[in-house]
A and B are shown apart, each in its own frame.
Chain A
Amino acid sequence: GAGVSQSPRYKVTKRGQDVALRCDPISGHVSLYWYRQALGQGPEFLTYFNYEAQQDKSGLPNDRFSAERPEGSISTLTIQRTEQRDSAMYRCASSRDLSYEQYFGPGTRLTVT
């Protein structure tokens, strides 16, 4: 079956622009997670959803970052007024529920110039 997909795979944007990153989880997976990964580091938790409910957003760096999953499937991570420090790999993962292993998408490489 299809894995987790993310789009776009690469995004270059100018400082101050808004960006929207999309995640399409594995069909039937209840839980969806967003991470940010700096080069050579482990993924850093941003937020997660169970179905359409955002359960924890404590990892979002500031209020320029937001996420939604309105129908309990596809999720969008939005970064407003991007800054250079937002440049990173953004990874999405999904799992059957909270107690199961997470399956990761290929990531979106965001570069803010």
Chain B
Amino acid sequence: AQSVAQPEDQVNVAEGNPLTVKCTYSVSGNPYLFWYVQYPNRGLQFLLKYITGDNLVKGSYGFEAEFNKSQTSFHLKKPSALVSDSALYFCAVTTTRGNTPLVFGKGTRLSVIA
């Protein structure tokens, strides 16, 4: 069965500092990996995905994520955090077979402090 772990419930970072939100996964087969962001009282917004190819993927709002197959990780990163990045971040995984549902992590709340 697929699973996603986001080990940190909360990440605090000062504005202008780099941020990392961690995600590890478990699947049978090759993974499709996604990051979504949820702002207060809003729906989930797609940030970026890894399907195949370059292990470093770039997404919206300056975010990027690095796929590490040996560590089964897909950590979300941003070189310089903004206060407006404060939100709930979800990592999700499915498999390349394409017939399995998306499994989400529990989410990590990012708080960027001015």
Residues of A within 8 A of B (CB): 4, 33, 40-45, 48, 55-56, 59, 91, 93, 97-99, 101-107
Using Cβ atoms and an 8 Å threshold, which residues of chain B touch A55? 99
CB < 8 Å neighbour of A42 from B94, B98, B107: B107
Using Cβ atoms and an 8 Å threshold, which residues of chain B touch A33? 101-102
**Does B44 lie at the interface of the complex (its beta carbon under 8 Å from any beta carbon of A)?**
yes
Quote the shortest CB–CB distance from A3 to chain B (angstroms): 8
Using Cβ atoms and an 8 Å threshold, which residues of chain A touch B43? 4, 91, 104-107
Question: Do the beta carbons of A45 and B102 come within 8 Å of each other?
Answer: yes
A-B contact pairs, 27 of them (CB 8 A): A4-B43, A33-B101, A41-B106, A41-B107, A42-B4, A42-B90, A42-B104, A42-B107, A43-B44, A43-B90, A43-B102, A44-B104, A45-B102, A45-B103, A48-B101, A55-B99, A56-B101, A59-B101, A91-B43, A91-B44, A97-B98, A98-B98, A102-B46, A104-B36, A104-B44, A104-B45, A107-B43
Chain A residue with Cβ nearest B49: A101
Using Cβ atoms and an 8 Å threshold, which residues of chain B touch A48? 101
Using Cβ atoms and an 8 Å threshold, which residues of chain B touch A59? 101
CB < 8 Å neighbour of B101 from A41, A45, A101, A107: A45
Chain B contributes a number of interface residues (CB within 8 A of A) equal to: 24
CB < 8 Å neighbour of A99 from B42, B96, B104: B96
Using Cβ atoms and an 8 Å threshold, which residues of chain A touch B107? 40-42
Near A by CB (< 8 A), chain B positions 89-114 give 90, 92, 94, 96, 98-99, 101-107
Using Cβ atoms and an 8 Å threshold, which residues of chain B touch A102? 34, 46, 102
